[in-house]
Structure 1
Amino acid sequence: MARRALILVEGTRANGPLYVKAARRLGLHPITLSADATRFDYHAPERVEAIRVDTDNLDALIHECARLRATYDIAGITSPWEPSYATAGKLCRHFDLPGPNPASIEQCCDKFTQRQLLAAAGVPIPAYRVAAHAREVESAATEIGLPVILKPAVGRGSSGVRLCRSIDEVAEHTTHLLGGKHIWQCSPNILVEEFAQGPFYCADIMGNDVVGIGASDFGPPPHFVFRESIFPASLTDDEHERIADVSLSCLRALGLGWGPTCIEFRWTKRGPIVIEVNPRLAGGTTPRRIQLAYGVDLITEHIKLIIGEEWDLRRRHSQIAAARCLVPDRDGILDRIGGEARAAAVPGVAEVKFYVEPNTPIIRQGDYRDSIGHVIAASPSRAETQAILERAVNSISWSIKPFR
């Protein structure tokens, strides 16, 4: 009998290794298809079978999967990486495997199209305009009213996203986005949005079930770099219900509802405002925090759905899980980083991870790439979890020396 395999199209630093481990626990052989088979550092330690293929070329992927079917029983195909998630959906359709609707994924990944569909369905969103050149951006910012958010219409991880409080800042960031410094995934269109002010929440969904809602804080503006996230968020029953109701409205408006979705909100004077709908599993520390808080392993349950098995989203327990991202405050060469063992030894700490090693150049981008590590803690109470996290983070230190 052929060995059952799970095909992963590309991967991520955070969720990629978790998909590999979960696949193996389910008795599957994980195989990664990647344009650069050495790109993800979990390949070597996890000894994942990694095959080099142009993942932007659907025909090449179909050919490779067909070749693998001669050796393996391909149980499912997916991607932990948003840019490849629609492609994985197309492969599922081609090979008659369970998967998301690729058209729904693609239209959702275009933030302008997403905004149009949500607005048409009456979902509460910030005022917005789309612009292709500097004059249109400035005009849109003036119409909406400062401050505004400027972001690429297609992108992820807060790359290229900035809060602009003046027309000068609008012009400066527009020049950055259109002047060759930002790498565009498609035609350069800038989304200009009203700055929805208020606490940040994220609803994590599987199918049409709202698994839970977390809260996060960011570092100092004008960028949106996650600093601390906690799950579940401290919400009243009414607030939770309102966010859950709007979340389900988003799924209907965007043709989603198969597999994972994470929806970002700001709670404003008008209530919950949708900032962004992500048609895939949340990245970063989110899956781990949900597992610690509720005992629900979203990655394992997602794989079950992918391979046609029944998932189980029942909560096993209730804890408060929080994560702190380690974010440097300057550029330079990382001279030293340590304290991992001391932090991990703090009772209640679930994970300590450094992404970098000494002598690594640190060049802050104002997005998810700025984080050099994280600490995750969990306990039965919110105050206790915060205290554990603080103690662990204080055990870690690093130094950055200036570039010469």
Structure 2
Amino acid sequence: MTGDGTIPDGTLPAGTVVLIGGRAQREFTLLHRLGYRILHLDRRVPLHCMPWADMPVDVDVDDWDLVLDVVRDHLGGSAPAAVLTHVEPRIPLMAHLAGRLLADRPGLSLQAAWNCHDKWRSRTRLREAGIAVPAFGLAGDADEAVRIARDIGLPVVVKPRDGAGAFGVRRCLSAQEVHRAASAVLADPGPGTRAGVLVEEYVEGPEYAVQTLTRDGRTRLLSVFRQHMTEPPVFVEIGYEHPSGLDRDDEAALGDLVTSSLAALGVTDWISHTQVRHGADGFRVVEVNARRPGGRLVEMTAAVCGVDMTRAVSQIALGLEVTADRPSATHALYSSVVFDEPGFVTYHTGIDVSDHALPPIVEIEVAPGEPVLPADHPEGGVYGRIVAFGHSAGEVADGVGRIRKALGLRVSRLEGLAWQEESDSREFKSCC
């Protein structure tokens, strides 16, 4: 073995984690701090990720047999310490590789991965288990989508069969809107997407994001956030708050519903991010995701319960005990940076947040002077986030307000930034 830990022929030793996809440095840093090396696989490993991995490898991640061969080649026939991904489309591949290379390791099975990733399969399994979900149907073409919508009753929601972050999701009020939305999804479903478009009942009511940790079939609720969205027809997350506003009985019922859903889908050792609507007839499960939430909901969850979901899923994949810290806050408020009009954004950089009792999160993902588009534009959506932590609703609301005032976000409206009113919504930027 050489001084950098590699074997002379270019393979990596045991103690290596296979990480599929990934964009955030912390995903890599956590594994290194736990004492493991990283074989990073992606269709095209981003340049900024290369210094974080011990061996970055470009590979066609849609060719599962090829990926398995690449892993075996680079590990010299040894089993990896774990196979892990934080990227929604690669979760089934992760489960497949883990099943082939680490058959006895607790984690997410391939069946459970598909049960969560495939929205039609999720709803079918949950309905068979007697769990409340919106009425739904799977269409192979736009005409069939219209027939399903008429059977369910308008309005309905049209969405890709798989995917994440509300991409391609649209509420439709008429048959014409259903046909147009379904045609858009079917024409450009994205790589690796399963055939068909999902048409489901639109459930009017508040939405909740529920984060959980399941070990040995026992599920623990980590956080319940009240979720705020843009007004339909498209769905962009504009904020979250903790506590959720649910009373103790409703939150217990919500926890029981999510626990039963995970059991029905076969999730016995993993984390999850589940979205639930509270309609006129009670809670209905909208989506169950076998992954951590996006945006900064991981940090919100860690603040209010002490469990870092990125670290927790890494520990589960490695067969380690899940560790937790002390919660630092009882309240948290998440406010997405979105805009109502197109134009060029200006704001103050380097604002001082030292007067906040608990350090807030302030992220703006567009530089001053760059163009922005409204939340309801196909290429607009979320341009950043502000998250404040504290010990009362007033404290966190005041924290977000002070940060927004200090930033002084402004948009200068200029001509020439018009958009097409009937664009496909699949490219909406969202966080979760």
Please give the TM-score of this superposition, normalised by the length of structure 2.
0.83
| Counterpart-to-counterpart distance in 1, 2:55 and 2:347 | 32
| Counterpart-to-counterpart distance in 2, 1:72 and 1:360 | 49
| Counterpart-to-counterpart distance in 2, 1:313 and 1:211 | 11
Distance 1:240 1:48, change over 3 A: farther
Task: Please tell me the residue identity of whatever aligns with 1:399.
Answer: V
Aligned to 1:23: 31
| Counterpart-to-counterpart distance in 2, 1:214 and 1:228 | 9
Aligned to 2:183: 175
2:146 equivalent among 122, 138, 150: 138
Distance 1:182 1:58, change over 3 A: closer
Task: Please tell me the residue identity of whatever aligns with 1:298.
Answer: M
| Counterpart-to-counterpart distance in 1, 2:37 and 2:200 | 44
- Answering whether residue 160 of structure 2 is matched by residue 148 of structure 1, we say no
Aligned to 2:347: 338
1:270 equivalent among 281, 289, 292: 281
Distance 1:257 1:167, change over 3 A: same
2:69 equivalent among 63, 73, 78: 63
Matches within 5 A, 1:229-268: 229-268=240-279
Cα deviations across residues 30-64 of structure 1 (Å, max 9, x unaligned)? Answer: 3421111117x5x2675775321221122222233
Task: Please tell me the residue identity of whatever aligns with 2:91.
Answer: Y
| Counterpart-to-counterpart distance in 2, 1:257 and 1:321 | 29
- Answering whether residue 399 of structure 2 is matched by residue 393 of structure 1, we say no
Contact 2:132 2:283 (C-alpha < 8 Å) held by counterparts: yes
Runs of at least 5 residues in structure 2 that lack an aligned partner in the other structure: 6-12, 418-432
2:57 equivalent among 51, 55, 58: 51
* TM-aligned CA deviation for residue 362 of structure 1: 4.6
Contact 1:223 1:367 (C-alpha < 8 Å) held by counterparts: no
* TM-aligned CA deviation for residue 7 of structure 1: 2.1
Aligned to 1:204: 211
Q: After alignment, is 375-384 or 360-369 more displaced?
A: 360-369
1:111 equivalent among 119, 143, 148: 119
| Counterpart-to-counterpart distance in 2, 1:403 and 1:100 | 49
Aligned to 1:383: 394
| Counterpart-to-counterpart distance in 1, 2:63 and 2:255 | 37
Contact 1:159 1:368 (C-alpha < 8 Å) held by counterparts: no
| Counterpart-to-counterpart distance in 1, 2:57 and 2:242 | 36
Contact 2:303 2:327 (C-alpha < 8 Å) held by counterparts: no
Cα deviations across residues 340-395 of structure 1 (Å, max 9, x unaligned)? Answer: 42164551442212223457565667679721111111011122112211221233
Identity level (%): 24
3-state SS in 2 of match to 1:395: helix
Task: Please tell me the residue identity of whatever aligns with 1:383.
Answer: G
Root-mean-square deviation over aligned CA pairs: 2.7
3-state SS in 1 of match to 2:46: coil
Matches within 5 A, 1:6-17: 6-12=17-23, 16-17=24-25
2:233 equivalent among 208, 214, 222: 222
* TM-aligned CA deviation for residue 285 of structure 1: 1.3
Cα deviations across residues 157-190 of structure 1 (Å, max 9, x unaligned)? Answer: 1111011122332233233223x35536435412
| Counterpart-to-counterpart distance in 1, 2:379 and 2:34 | 30
Task: Please tell me the residue identity of whatever aligns with 1:350.
Answer: P
Distance 1:368 1:209, change over 3 A: farther
3-state SS in 1 of match to 2:350: helix
* TM-aligned CA deviation for residue 123 of structure 1: 0.3
1:351 equivalent among 350, 361, 366: 361
| Counterpart-to-counterpart distance in 2, 1:244 and 1:160 | 28
Contact 1:331 1:362 (C-alpha < 8 Å) held by counterparts: yes
Task: Please tell me the residue identity of whatever aligns with 2:205.
Answer: G
* TM-aligned CA deviation for residue 276 of structure 1: 0.8
- Answering whether residue 84 of structure 2 is matched by residue 78 of structure 1, we say yes
* TM-aligned CA deviation for residue 329 of structure 1: 2.8
Aligned to 2:8: none
| Counterpart-to-counterpart distance in 2, 1:330 and 1:139 | 36
Task: Please tell me the residue identity of whatever aligns with 1:37.
Answer: V
| Counterpart-to-counterpart distance in 1, 2:388 and 2:66 | 43
* TM-aligned CA deviation for residue 86 of structure 1: 1.5
- Answering whether residue 333 of structure 2 is matched by residue 327 of structure 1, we say no
* TM-aligned CA deviation for residue 258 of structure 1: 1.6
* TM-aligned CA deviation for residue 144 of structure 1: 1.4
- Answering whether residue 217 of structure 2 is matched by residue 195 of structure 1, we say no
* TM-aligned CA deviation for residue 117 of structure 1: 0.8
3-state SS in 2 of match to 1:352: strand
| Counterpart-to-counterpart distance in 1, 2:78 and 2:223 | 36
* TM-aligned CA deviation for residue 295 of structure 1: 2.3
Task: Please tell me the residue identity of whatever aligns with 2:202.
Answer: F
Contact 1:132 1:188 (C-alpha < 8 Å) held by counterparts: yes
Matches within 5 A, 1:265-304: 265-304=276-315
| Counterpart-to-counterpart distance in 2, 1:220 and 1:211 | 28
Contact 2:203 2:279 (C-alpha < 8 Å) held by counterparts: yes
| Counterpart-to-counterpart distance in 2, 1:44 and 1:292 | 30
Distance 1:330 1:21, change over 3 A: farther
Q: After alignment, is 117-126 or 138-147 more displaced?
A: 138-147
| Counterpart-to-counterpart distance in 1, 2:231 and 2:29 | 35
Q: After alignment, is 253-262 or 17-26 more displaced?
A: 17-26
